[in-house]
Structures are given as structure tokens and as C-alpha cells.
Amino acid sequence: MSNKTRIVVAGPRGRMGSEAVNLVDRTENFELVAVVDSRNEGKRVKDIEGLPSLEAPVYEDIDRCFREVECDVLIDLTTPAVGRKHMESAFHHGVRPVVGTTGFTDDDIAELSSVAEEKQLGAIIAPNFAIGAVLMMKFSQMAAKYFPDVEIIEQHHDQKLDAPSGTAVKTAQMIADVRESKQQGHENEKEELKGARGANMDGMRIHSVRLPGLVAHQEVLFGGEGQTLKIRHDSINRTSFMPGVKLAVETVLKMDQLVYGLENIME
Ligand code: NAP
């Protein structure tokens, strides 16, 4: 029997999902055993334009996929509603999910965590698989201890549905863990145009830019007396996320609970 990790990718025609299919294809110890697509039932991966020439079958129904195909890990890169359903199905069939889909609510995460715990199955939900972005968050948390005045500017392509990005919110949460709560700016500050100062999280401001041509970028700006500090990360293209996906697949096999955020599996 092969000792490769058997993987199903959901969302294989998507911008992220197609990169994940390529990652599985070129990784020696990984094997693509099926994909779950919203169309193309009964076809093979090789029949889908832009995907590698692989024989793995295409399913529209994830439950049927897990009933018919032996699999260790599900990589889900779809939408929050679909991703949640896919995770529940994975747990039901003893499959460990690695999920990059963003937009899950706190309730979704709490409920999925308790299913993972009940089933003793590892799972990873990572709103950002770019290892450099995780380091940006960690460095920002270090800096915030000394620079409590901080604004976050995140920039993404204009097809992104959620704002602010999961990464911006996560960065603000990590900063809030070490920064004393503070209302920033002038106390009599007034927005002449609603939204001009961005979203407010514990006094920190978050600004979301959406433009064609962008991928995923974030700058964390700190201001102190006579000095500023900028910590910036840029994902130039979607391959930047794949080393994080690979790390998550390798790690989830050894886990028996749900972990939210790639930073929690990085040394
Ligand atoms: P995308 O290009 O729109 O791809 C999403 C794919 O999911 C589409 O091919 C879509 O197919 C498919 N899909 C929808 N419903 C499905 C279903 N029921 N079964 C199977 N597939 C289904 O989006 P993307 O840019 O790849 O992003 C995907 C997700 O990853 C988003 O939530 C995004 O925010 C997130 N993301 C995460 C990271 C990270 O590092 N974690 C980085 C970038 C993006 P149809 O077109 O037929 O609906």
C-alpha cells in the first residue's frame, strides 16, 4: 500500500484551488484522489481546462466522494457556506480538513471545533496561508508593545467578498492581546465623509483597498514620537500560499483538534 497522503481538493477550478491541485500533483508524498467541483460530475481532472493531466475523478456531491474514495485530507478553497458543509462531511467520514476559505463566523469556528474534538480529528482553518504574512502578524504584535498607535491598511483584488480581510482582523486581535485599549487620533476627530477613518477595532483603524491587479497585501503602520515603523507583506501571486498549505496538510495528520490560524502550527 502506498504511504502517500491521499488528498481531495474542493474548488479545483478556483484561483486558489487550481494552485492546490498543482501543489498536490508536484509533491512527492501527496496523491490527488478526487476533486469536488460545483460542476463536471463524472469527468476526470484532466478534462478540466487548466488543470494537470490527472485521472482523479470529479464529484459534485462531497458525501458521495468520501463514500467512494479513500482519503486522508480535504483541502477546501470554496466559499464559507460550502466550506462549512464540506468540513462537516469530512468529519463525518473521518477525513481531516485543511481550509483556506475565509469568512467563517466565530460561531462556525466554535461549532466546528466541538465536532473535531468529539471525533478526535485534526483540522486547520487558516485565513492566510502565506508564511510571510504570519510573520508580519507576529512582528506587528512585537512592535505594538512599544508602539500602541497603529493603523492597518490591507489591499486585495476587487473580487474579494469580505472586508476587512481575515488577516487584518487577526492582526488587530493579536495586537489587542498585548496593547492597552486606546482610542487613537484626536478626541474631537470628525469624519466629514463616512468611513474616511476606516473600521474601528479597539481604537485601531483598519482600511480596506479593493482594486483589480492586486493580489493580497498588508501594511501595519505604527506611529511614535518622532518615528514611524511600517511592517509590510505582499503576496505577488497565489503560489505564495502553497508552502503554508503543504505545511498544514503535513501537520494536520498528527493533530486531534481544530486549530485556527497558521501561526499556531508554526514553531
Ligand atoms: P474563486 O476563484 O472564486 O474559487 C472558488 C471556487 O469554489 C470556484 O471554482 C467555485 O466554483 C468553487 N465552488 C463554489 N461552490 C462549490 C461547491 N459547492 N463545490 C465545489 N466547489 C465550489 O476564489 P479563490 O480566490 O480561489 O478563493 C477561494 C477562497 O479562499 C475564498 O474564501 C478566499 O477568500 C480564500 N483565500 C484564502 C487564502 C488563504 O491564504 N487562506 C488566500 C486567498 C484566498 P463556481 O465558480 O462554479 O462557483
- Report the nearest atom of ligand 1 relative to the CA of 12: 9
- Report the nearest atom of ligand 1 relative to the CA of 16: 26
> Model's pTM, two decimal places?
0.87
229 phi/psi in degrees, rounded to 5: -135, 135
- Report the nearest atom of ligand 1 relative to the CA of 80: 32
* The pLDDT of residue 166: 86
The arithmetic mean of pLDDT across residues 11-30, rounded, is 97
Greatest pairwise CA separation for the chain in angstroms: 69
46 phi/psi in degrees, rounded to 5: -65, -20
Going by CA atoms, what residue is nearest to atom 14 of ligand 1?
78
**pLDDT confidence band for 161 (50 / 70 / 90):** confident
Going by CA atoms, what residue is nearest to atom 45 of ligand 1?
38
246 is catalytic: no
Please tell me the distance between residue 76's alpha carbon and the centre of ligand 1 in angstroms: 8
**pLDDT confidence band for 1 (50 / 70 / 90):** low
- Across the chain, what does the average pLDDT equal? 96
What does the alpha-carbon distance between residue 101 and residue 138 come to, in Å, rounded to a whole number? 22
The arithmetic mean of pLDDT across residues 52-64, rounded, is 98
Q: pLDDT for 167-201, tens place per residue?
A: 999 899 999 999 998 889 999 999 999 999 999 99
Has residue 2 got a pLDDT over 80?
A: no
* The pLDDT of residue 114: 98
Has residue 267 got a pLDDT over 80?
A: no
What does the alpha-carbon distance between residue 267 and residue 265 come to, in Å, rounded to a whole number? 6
156 is catalytic: yes
Please tell me the distance between residue 11's alpha carbon and the centre of ligand 1 in angstroms: 6
Helix 15-26 to helix 242-252 angle (10° resolution) is: 60
Please tell me the distance between residue 39's alpha carbon and the centre of ligand 1 in angstroms: 13
Q: pLDDT for 121-132, tens place per residue?
A: 999 999 889 999
Please tell me the distance between residue 6's alpha carbon and the centre of ligand 1 in angstroms: 21
Going by CA atoms, what residue is nearest to atom 44 of ligand 1?
16
